[in-house]
Amino acid sequence: MRELVVLSGKGGTGKTSLTAAFASLAKNSVLCDADVDASDLHLLMAPEIKQRTDFKGGGIAVINPDQCTGCGLCMEVCRFDAVKEGFKVDEIECEGCGVCVDFCPEEAIDFPIKTCGEWYISETRFGPMVHARLGIAEENSGKLVVLVRQEAKKLAESKNIDLIITDGPPGIGCPVIASLGGATALIIVAEPTVSGLHDMERVAQLAANFKVPGMVCVNKADLNPEQAETIEKLAEKKNLSILGRIPFDPVFTESMIQGKNIIEYKNDSKISQVVREIWDRIMTSPAMNK
């Protein structure tokens, strides 16, 4: 079982558009959307949801006013300023640590497990897909990412599929860390801008900490060929293999509007040819063929 995770550091570099194109080229893979916070892959995949499950995150403190004597101990022990005037818990501030629950002398605080999202097993025209939606303003995104990746693995095993393609979240924090552990290889989609370079360096460093082999492709490369070269040089220095350059092309947006990936939308275009070459390099890379 191999899992390819697509990351970028910076948002909006083209992770999801490329993941969708890879799904088209892979023929037989399980798709996994690990960007549970602002997921977009389903917009290109039109998944037909087969199974829908609640995602239970952590607990949250709820003070029962009938039992509360107003002693104030919960306010004292809470380090997140979540207990507000009138002994009401601010759900957004509550970290789910439960310290108030354990300290309340009246046992007046409940700690129900909160449903903070949903995850799905779906069918798409490119095969099965596991995806999720974290509720607005919720925590535990890392936990949900771990869950969708595990479910994708289970699904791949049960269907005898050897490849998982995972669309990752932006950044380098909790959900990205949760996307990385145990991945076979990582594709970093960089853009040739000062911020693209800066952010790619940080995500590459994170990948190195996790010892996941990485490959880099530069999207919208012709916007600044010099910067594209700087990114490739940095990639080389960091032992990341270079997959190629994709030129800036409005056809990506056009295909997105049609709900299609670039390969489906314009299979014979130059852009599709470049993406196919990148895909071949990924699949023949040493990292994917250990």
Partner 1 sequence: MIISVASGKGGTGKTTVATNLALSLESGVQLLDCDVEEPNCHLFLNPVIEETETVFTPVPEIDADKCTFCRKCVDICRFKVIAILGETILTFPELCHSCGGCMAICPEDAITETGRQLGVVEKGRLNNIDFVHGRLRVGEAMSPPLIKKVRSFARSDKINIIDAPPGTSCPVIAAMKDTDFVLMVTEPTPFGLHDLRLAVEAVRILGIPHGLVINRSDIGDSRVQAYAGRENLPILMEIPFDRRIAEAYSKGRSIVEEMPEWKEKFLKLYSQVEKLVE
Query: Applying CB under 8 A, which residues contact partner 1?
Result: 9-13, 16, 37-38, 40, 43, 58-59, 77, 79-80, 92, 95-99, 102-103, 134, 136-139, 141-142, 169-174, 176-177, 191-196, 198-199, 202, 205-206, 209, 223-224, 227, 248, 250, 253, 256-257, 259
Angle subtended by helix axes 225-237 and 194-209, to nearest 10: 20
Q: What is the DSSP letter of 123?
A: E
Smallest separation (angstroms) from partner 1 to the CB of 135: 9
HSE toward the beta carbon, residue 214, CA cutoff 13 A: 30
Return d(Cα 265, Cα 179) in angstroms, integer.
29
Closest to partner 1 by CB, 163 or 204: 204
Smallest separation (angstroms) from partner 1 to the CB of 157: 27
Return d(Cα 226, Cα 159) in angstroms, integer.
45
Smallest separation (angstroms) from partner 1 to the CB of 142: 6
Closest to partner 1 by CB, 49 or 194: 194
Smallest separation (angstroms) from partner 1 to the CB of 216: 16
Closest to partner 1 by CB, 6 or 156: 6
Positive or negative: CA dihedral 186, 30, 168, 182: negative
Tokens encoding 59: 């607990």
Residues 39 and 131: beta-carbon distance below 8 Å:
yes
Closest to partner 1 by CB, 145 or 282: 145
